[in-house]
Chains A and B, each alone.
Chain A
Amino acid sequence: MSGVTVIAVIASAIRLATPLLLSALGGVFSERSGVVNIGLEGIMIFGAFFSVLFTHITGNAWIGVVAAIIFGIVMAALLAVVSINLKGNQIIAGTAVNLLAAALTAFFLELIWHRSGSTPICPDMLTSNPIRVLEKLPVIGDLFKQFTPFIYIAIVLTFVTYYILWKTPWGLHVRAVGEHPKAADTVGIGVYKTRWICVLLSGVLAGLSGACLSIGTVGLFREGMVAGKGFIALAAMVFGKWHPIGAMGASFFFGICLAIQIQAQSFGLDVPGEFLAMVPYVATIIVLIGVVGKAVAPKADGQPYEKDEA
């Protein structure tokens, strides 16, 4: 394997890991506050579709990114209403979000472009490296040529997430709400409000992740383009032990598996692609079993909170 191939695989891995990481960070926010977010997949579909739609309308991909965030929030709000205020089941709510997002985007595709399958290519995309200086670096300069703006955004947001959740008072509140909502409520932390903000933040991040898949990669929206990436992101979050830095490591690891799967033939590796594709899921189960350091969810993850009224 030559140095060029190594760089190519790493670059490809980072590009593939980015949407996973963004969504996984969304999952970290949501689940740290105690709301299980199975709906990441659906929010990504929404983000991917609306970023393309608004890029088409305005001709500016950055406005597409803003649209992805806004519509990500809309989908997340549905999850928040059902699982926080109505105290509905979070798993069902998440599944409903996934089904609804897939159905609505297919419907809008038909309604707006009168075609099914995929949208036309966008007039503007975000697939080139915004920080050209880095390309001049020796050896790893070629790596940066492959970078998209989303990669920088994801890396920055990973550390921002870590800082918010572990270094600020509000982050402590979030984690308290996720571990023991009643205790948090007793000391005056608004459980509903905290959970709402966190679920909406997961909408922001998963929406961004959707934009990364569409305008940050192929420049169009295709039905089924998310195809389980929301669930790999969920796996990355669990594999990373509900921690942003862990999620980053997990996403990169999963990205490498996907990259090798795509490029296996180019360096004559004889591993069936299907087994490489399985690695994220099997690895996550192994981590949950606790063979290599047990992953433990926030204690109140998945539990609706009933406020004591009187």
Chain B
Amino acid sequence: MKTRLLNVWSVLKLPLVAILVGFVVGAFCIMLAGSNPLTAYAALLKGSLASLPSFGETLYKVTPILLTGLAAAIGFRCGLFNIGGEGQYVVAAIATVGVAWSFQGLPHFILVPILLITGALVGGVWGGIAGILKAKRGINEVITTIMLNWTALYLSNYLVRTLLNPSRLLDKLPSGHTVAVPEAARLMKLKVIIPAFGYSSAHTGIFIAIGVAVLMWFILFKTTLGYEIRAVGFNPTASEYGGISSAKNTFLAMFISGGLAGLAGAIQIMGLVYMVNQSPELPGYGFTGLCVALVGLSHPLGCIPAALLFGILDNGSRQMQLAGIPKEINAIISAVILVFVAGALLLKYINVYFEKKRGAGKPRFKEVREV
């Protein structure tokens, strides 16, 4: 029992320390702004967890970043950096609006699955482009996914301005957002089921997200597909010798990863915002997803508490602002956690990795570099 606990501690130590460091740096910044960190953090917790409606708001913030976190996590498990979660989210969101508008006559229980599948497929295809380029031509997925993020943003802005604009579809004045999705396409609010959720915007999307997290855990750890994806992530050359195609699994992992980020986009549209706005910037869910995956140790179930943490940081910032603390503190805390995770956590992994390799008397350098 004791060794088991020690094992759990050795795994959780680094993300927990990273979070602690993040909050300590945050406390320092709060003092710099002339406030008391304890008051600030009390406001943070009060604003995000103290009542059912505020917890509901937190759940609403958790929903998209849990899904983009899972997207990043499955990429990591296959040794891939999908930093294209942003773009996959964006294309899926705009596609959801388009499809919902085209099929607006359909009843709720048929339209909702159609839209979820649309979002996942469109996001999957957007991620799959980077996957194919990596698998077939060895092109670094980091660069392609960055490029596809911005391509997606401008494509979405174009569709918002033209095809899906209220001026085209509803004979209204041109506006900076698309038409709203029909009632039948909207996910149910939690407050309809449990009135105690009050003003909160939480919707049933959170159950979908948690369900998907469990499903991803099952796929990654209990199926052949998951085993192959992890094998390729662990050592592509060795898996190739074992008959596991690294090209196929690279593509599949990017497709699934894109699909998860796309699902986030679809659910965000169906759950609360109902339309897409023109935007000069990427929405940021994909990057937060990277933080979620890293703090969640790239484990689908670990992503749940990690997403909750970043949801609390996001939602609590309003209450902190009311207490006179700049809202940017929370973004600083998130960024510091990421810096620490990038430095310390991966250092640890890499050291363990090298220790193992050294033990086996193998060379300590990864000489093969594709691009």
Residues of A whose CB lies within 8 Å of any CB of B are 36, 38, 78, 81-82, 86-89, 91-93, 95-100, 102-104, 106-107, 110-111, 182, 224, 227-228, 231-232, 234-235, 238, 272, 274-275, 277-278, 281-282, 284-285, 288-290, 296-297, 299-304, 306, 308
Is A235 in contact with B147, judged by CB distance below 8 angstroms?
Answer: yes
The winner among A103, A277, A303 for most chain B CB atoms within 10 A is A103
Q: Specify which chain A residues have a CB less than 8 angstroms from the CB of B281 in the assembled complex.
A: 224, 227-228
Q: Which residue of B lies closest to A281 (CB)?
A: B147
Q: Which residue of A lies closest to B330 (CB)?
A: A103
Is A88 in contact with B137, judged by CB distance below 8 angstroms?
Answer: no
Q: Does B365 contact A (CB under 8 A)?
A: yes
Which 6 residue pairs are nearest across A and B when measured between Cβ atoms? A103-B331, A100-B335, A274-B158, A92-B342, A107-B328, A96-B338
Is B339 in contact with A82, judged by CB distance below 8 angstroms?
Answer: yes
Q: Does B161 contact A (CB under 8 A)?
A: yes
B103 to chain A, nearest CB (A): 26
**How distant is the Cα of A266 from the Cα of B40 in the complex, in angstroms?**
52
Given the known interface contacts A87-B350, A228-B150, the answer about A234 and B371 at a Cβ–Cβ threshold of 8 Å is no
Is A289 in contact with B334, judged by CB distance below 8 angstroms?
Answer: no
**How distant is the Cα of A228 from the Cα of B287 in the complex, in angstroms?**
14
Is B343 in contact with A110, judged by CB distance below 8 angstroms?
Answer: no
Q: Does B81 contact A (CB under 8 A)?
A: yes
**How distant is the Cα of A36 from the Cα of B371 in the complex, in angstroms?**
13
Is A103 in contact with B332, judged by CB distance below 8 angstroms?
Answer: yes
Supply 21 A–B pairs (Cβ within 8 Å), ascending by A: A86-B342, A86-B343, A87-B350, A92-B338, A92-B342, A93-B342, A95-B338, A96-B338, A96-B339, A99-B331, A100-B339, A102-B331, A107-B332, A182-B365, A224-B281, A285-B148, A288-B133, A289-B137, A301-B369, A301-B371, A306-B350
Is B342 in contact with A96, judged by CB distance below 8 angstroms?
Answer: yes
Q: Does B144 contact A (CB under 8 A)?
A: yes
The winner among A111, A274, A282, A299 for most chain B CB atoms within 10 A is A274
Given the known interface contacts A86-B344, A88-B342, the answer about A281 and B150 at a Cβ–Cβ threshold of 8 Å is yes
Contact of B346 among A81, A88, A182, A302 (CB under 8 A): A88
Q: Which of B249-286 contact A (CB under 8 A)?
A: 280-282
A42 to chain B, nearest CB (A): 9
A100 to chain B, nearest CB (A): 4
B289 to chain A, nearest CB (A): 11
**Number of A-B residue pairs at CB separation under 8 A:** 155
Contact of A299 among B149, B364, B369 (CB under 8 A): B369
Q: Specify which chain B residues have a CB less than 8 angstroms from the CB of A96 in the assembled complex.
A: 335, 338-339, 342
Is B282 in contact with A81, judged by CB distance below 8 angstroms?
Answer: no
**Which secondary structure dominates where chain B touches chain A?**
helix
Is A91 in contact with B142, judged by CB distance below 8 angstroms?
Answer: yes
Contact of A238 among B29, B143, B294, B326 (CB under 8 A): B143
Q: Does B32 contact A (CB under 8 A)?
A: yes
Q: Which of B324-357 contact A (CB under 8 A)?
A: 326, 328-329, 331-332, 334-336, 338-339, 341-344, 346-347, 350, 354
Q: Does B102 contact A (CB under 8 A)?
A: no
Given the known interface contacts A86-B344, A306-B365, the answer about A272 and B329 at a Cβ–Cβ threshold of 8 Å is no
Q: Specify which chain A residues have a CB less than 8 angstroms from the CB of B140 in the assembled complex.
A: 288, 297, 302
Q: Which residue of B lies closest to A296 (CB)?
A: B371
Q: Specify which chain B residues have a CB less than 8 angstroms from the CB of A88 in the assembled complex.
A: 342-344, 346-347
Given A182-B365, A231-B149, A289-B137: 6 more A-B contacts, CB < 8 Å = A92-B338, A103-B328, A110-B33, A281-B151, A282-B147, A306-B365
Is B369 in contact with A106, judged by CB distance below 8 angstroms?
Answer: no
Q: Which residue of A lies closest to B146 (CB)?
A: A231
A291 to chain B, nearest CB (A): 11
Contact of A95 among B33, B83, B158 (CB under 8 A): B83
A48 to chain B, nearest CB (A): 15
Q: Does B366 contact A (CB under 8 A)?
A: yes
Is A288 in contact with B290, judged by CB distance below 8 angstroms?
Answer: no
Q: Specify which chain A residues have a CB less than 8 angstroms from the CB of B146 in the assembled complex.
A: 38, 231, 234-235
